[in-house]
């Protein structure tokens, strides 16, 4: 099975990369831009029999930093 782990900064964490992107979008002429958050998307191929708990463990302990990031898993 293929899973996709999306990792994003927690809402309370400053995202300077997102702020810079928002400002660049405004400079390109697109007005009304709100908050921009930049994260990462990781595709992982796993055996179909991989337990859900192990998938979350890998996402939480290896692919994200739980102090400053949230993750979401989609299949």
Its CATH architecture, for the domain 2-74, is: 2-Layer Sandwich (3.30)
Q: What is the greatest pairwise CA distance in the chain?
A: 49
**pLDDT (tens digit, 0 to 9) for every residue of the chain, 75 residues total?**
999 999 999 999 999 999 999 999 999 999 999 999 999 999 999 999 999 999 999 999 999 999 999 999 999
- In DSSP notation, the chain reads -EEEEEEEE-TTS--HHHHHHHHHHHHTT--S-------EEEEEE--TT--HHHHHHHIIIIIS-TTTEEEEEE-
CA end-to-end distance (rounded Å), the chain = 8
Q: What are the domain boundaries of the chain? A: 2-74
pTM: 0.86
Q: Taking the alpha carbons of 56, 59, 61, 66 in that order, is the dihedral positive or negative?
A: negative
């Amino acid at each position: 099975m293929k899973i996709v782990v999306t990792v994003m900064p927690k809402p309370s964490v400053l995202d300077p990369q997102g702020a810079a992107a928002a400002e660049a979008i405004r400079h390109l002429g697109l007005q009304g831009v709100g908050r921009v958050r930049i994260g990462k998307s990781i595709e992982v191929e796993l055996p179909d029999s991989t337990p859900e708990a192990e998938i979350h463990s890998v996402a939480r302990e290896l692919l994200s930093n739980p102090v400053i990031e949230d993750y979401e898993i989609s299949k």
